[in-house]
Amino acid sequence: MEKPGKHYFADKDIQVILGTLLRVGVIASMTVVFIGGLLYLSVYGNTGADYHTFNAAKTQYSSILAIFQGMSRLDGRAIIQFGTLLLIFTPVTRVVFSIFSFLIERDYLYVLIGIFVLGVILISLSNKLVG
Amino acid sequence: MSVLLFTIIVLAGAFLAGLVGSLTGLGGGVIIIPLLTLALGVDIHYAIGASIVSVIATSSGSAAAYVKEGITNIRIGMFLEIATTISAVLGAIVTVYINPGYIAVIFGCILLFSAVMMVRKKVDHSDSDSSGVLANFFKLNGSYPTASGTVKYGVHNVAGGFVMMLFAGIISGLLGIGSGALKVLAMDNIMRLPFKVSTTTSNFMMGVTAAASAIVYLHRGQIDPGIAMPVTLGVLMGATVGSKILVKTNTDKLKIVFAVVVTFLALQMIYNGLTGKL
């Protein structure tokens, strides 16, 4: 039998770090979204808002590359999308972190499960899934 | 409507959605989508894209508070994420091929179900019987600290819970919501986890599940910065304020009032979906 008490505290430390990581991720991404939002409103605030029908071609920033190109032009919309990207990757880093913590605990079954979950997310990163 | 006015209205609406969503446990997504589509005439595909981003924000934000209490069962979360991430990505891929009217009808049904789950009296089915074969193989049984010492719990019907999570994931990907009501059903009633564990673990999973489908939405252009910005900021602020009030208030009455509102919204979504107005 392993010592359950020791494990419990190791888990607890990891969870505290994870909690902090998530909070930092949320605060950082929301700050970026907020700054991008101000910039966006200062430029486009008086134009008309039209979202009545979904048109995939209308959204410029639908890939990571396009978002970075837009940011280099200081386009508020691209900055908002970058903040959104940061937010999306916040829980993903948590999965990565969990894989490492299972590796430290030598729980290889859960290392595999974690890699699998990460794999599913990475596959969704490929553009090919969108018809 | 000008972009500035639209942003202010959505921001205010999202704040309310986040506030009420966190007070009642419904989540912000299920409230902001009817608000955007019914009140502002936003296409449901944009509403879904914005909502999924707000789900990531609120679940990651509150997970920070939850994990410190140390009751989240990371193994159960990871194990069930296999089901929820695969099905969420599938749901997010399929959603654009489905007639918006049908999506509205499915949304309405899930909303009705969430309203019922919200007012229903919750019964804790947990026990310490840890003889489940799958539960042992995947090391899912756990324990959590209480004032009167450590309580052990056993996990039941792992296969049933996994299947329910597949369904929860599809709904999450299809509708851009956290589908917390379905996750709680899987964990409380099927796998019979203690409340303290199921609530935090479900929240822990929500962010990862939503991230998987959010990437698909982003590629498709469903995440429009002009809507996602006020929705995410508003819902997160509302949810943060809500979680501060939550500690001090009894929400039973609020839940009943709100169940009526949600039922009305649900019927409205179903009606508009069937008549092709959405």
Selected residue of A17, A55, A59, A60 to mutate for chain B interface (largest B Cβ count, 10 A): A59
Nearest CB partner across the interface for B229, out of A36, A45, A88: A36
Confidence band (pLDDT; 50, 70, 90) for A3?
very low
Dig out the tokens for B112 from the structure.
């009705």
Provide the shortest C-alpha distance from residue A117 to chain B (in Å). 6
Q: Which residues of chain B make contact with A92, given a CB cutoff of 8 A?
A: 208, 211
Q: Do B232 and A84 touch (CB under 8 A)?
A: yes
What's the rounded Cα separation, in Å, for the pair A15 and A10?
9
Q: What percent of chain A has pLDDT over 90?
A: 53
Over range B47-61, report the average pLDDT.
Answer: 91
**DSSP 8-state assignment for residue A126:** S
Residue B44: C-alpha distances to residues A26, A54, B15, B72 (Å): 25, 8, 19, 33
Dig out the tokens for A57 from the structure.
């071609």
Confidence band (pLDDT; 50, 70, 90) for A4?
very low
What pLDDT score does A50 carry?
87
Query: What is the residue extent of each domain of chain A?
Result: 12-44+61-129
**Predicted TM-score of the model (pTM):** 0.90
How many CB contacts within 8 angstroms connect chain A with chain B? 208
Residue B235: C-alpha distances to residues A41, B177, B190, B194 (Å): 19, 13, 30, 28
Per residue in B146-164, pLDDT (tens digit) is 778 888 899 999 999 999 9
The mean pLDDT of chain A is: 85
Q: Give the ipTM.
A: 0.90
**DSSP 8-state assignment for residue A60:** S
Selected residue of A84, A95, A112 to mutate for chain B interface (largest B Cβ count, 10 A): A84
Which has the higher per-residue pLDDT, B239 or A126?
B239
- Helix (H) or strand (E) run with residue A4 in it: helix A4-44
- Helix (H) or strand (E) run with residue B149 in it: strand B149-153
Provide the shortest C-alpha distance from residue A48 to chain B (in Å). 4
What pLDDT score does A7 carry?
52
Q: In the block, which residue shows the tokens 């994931």? A: B169
Per residue in B112-154, pLDDT (tens digit) is 999 998 888 778 888 888 888 898 888 898 888 777 888 889 9
Confidence band (pLDDT; 50, 70, 90) for A130?
low
Confidence band (pLDDT; 50, 70, 90) for B232?
very high
The mean pLDDT of chain B is: 89
Per residue in B181-213, pLDDT (tens digit) is 899 889 999 999 988 888 888 888 899 999 999
What pLDDT score does B149 carry?
81
Which has the higher per-residue pLDDT, B163 or A125?
B163
CB B198 within 8 A of CB B187: yes
Residue B47 pLDDT more than 70? yes
What's the rounded Cα separation, in Å, for the pair B183 and B204?
11
What's the rounded Cα separation, in Å, for the pair B84 and B170?
7
- Closest to B232 in 3D by CA, of A57, A36, A70, A45: A36
